[in-house]
Structure 1
Amino acid sequence: MRPKRLEFTSIVPRSLEETWDFFSRPENLEKLTPEDVSFNILSPVQGVKMYEGMIIQYRVSPFPGFSTDWVTEITQIKHHHHFIDDQRVGPFALWHHQHFFQSLGPNRTEMKDILHYAAPLGPLGTLADLIFVNRQVRGIFEAREAAIKRLFPE
């Protein structure tokens, strides 16, 4: 399967510093991920800020009756500007996720995600992407948008 590119933009009604502080802590991922994905962080991340080279292990259930391990590495960080996570082991043939942050004022931050991903299994993965993978990935980001509104009310 050829990699797909998805882009999502969120406005967080908080300062760049507060927004960065929240999103640069891996422990907060569980607060942003929909419950139906059964996303559990297995690595000891409580109270730890991410750093380049950080390996984070998760257990996810992308659909009922199926669970898999997922390992990502934080490959790049530019403080208050961006960070990148890449899948090392997991359900995708490719997962390259860029997170960008830009201040829009004292209490307004734009967060932009650019995701390149590819489903595994060649032509079968292409079919799976058409049937459900793309929709599910988009759904995760839509649920995250709702979580941002809940966690950061205006």
Structure 2
Amino acid sequence: MLYTFKRTQKLSASVHEVWEFISSPKNLAVITPPSMGFKTLSGDDRQMFSGQIIHYTVTPLFGVSVEWVTEITHLENKEYFVDEQRFGPYKFWHHKHFLKEIPGGVVMEDIIHYKLPFGFIGRIVHPLLVEPKLKAIFDYRKTKLKELFGEIE
């Protein structure tokens, strides 16, 4: 089963400011909950570009650390970028990040399409573990971005 997760947030900052922050792989650790043990191993030495490979470790569940490799497959400066998992915990991961200028700031939209491994077992654990964890990660991200840029109601 292919799942979809969407989040939208209105930030009180310019497109340029938000883009400069989210297009730096070094800032992934800032907006990831500390409990996830996020650590970049390579690929964070430049601003984001199409074809960039980012390799990191993360501890998503039960204290088990996993390696995750993503590729930035599409990028339009100050508008959007797409990261796709090449190796990692998901069977499929496609994450689109969009920015759009609005009066007083910017709206940021995340759309993730993902598929879990393990067939039937993956479908069982999705509502119990994976979906709540994904929501918690993006709740943390929303809070951190609000602290950094302010939020438009």
Give the structure-2-normalised TM-score: 0.94
Out of 93, 96, 99, the position equivalent to 1:98 is: 96
Alignment of 1:134-153 (within 5 A): 134-153=131-150
8 Å Cα contact 2:13/2:150 also seen in 1: no
Aligned to 1:50: 48
Is the partner of 1:31 in helix, strand or coil?
A: coil
Alignment of 1:96-135 (within 5 A): 96-105=94-103, 107-135=104-132
- Inter-partner Cα distance in structure 2 for 1:138 and 1:3: 17
1:65 maps to amino acid: G
Q: Which runs of 5+ in 1 are unaligned?
A: none
Aligned to 1:17: 16
Please tell me the root mean square deviation across aligned C-alpha atoms, in Å. Answer: 1.2
8 Å Cα contact 1:41/1:59 also seen in 2: yes
Is the partner of 2:19 in helix, strand or coil?
A: helix
1:36 maps to amino acid: S
Q: Which runs of 5+ in 2 are unaligned?
A: none
8 Å Cα contact 2:38/2:58 also seen in 1: yes
Give the structure-1-normalised TM-score: 0.94
Task: State the percentage of identical aligned residues.
Answer: 37
The Cα shift of 1:45 comes to 1.4
1:134 maps to amino acid: E
Count, aligned residues: 151
The Cα shift of 1:130 comes to 2.0
Aligned to 2:27: 28
The Cα shift of 1:35 comes to 0.8
Misfit runs of 4+, over 4 Å: none
- Inter-partner Cα distance in structure 2 for 1:77 and 1:120: 28
Aligned to 2:80: 82
Is the partner of 1:32 in helix, strand or coil?
A: coil
Is the partner of 1:126 in helix, strand or coil?
A: helix
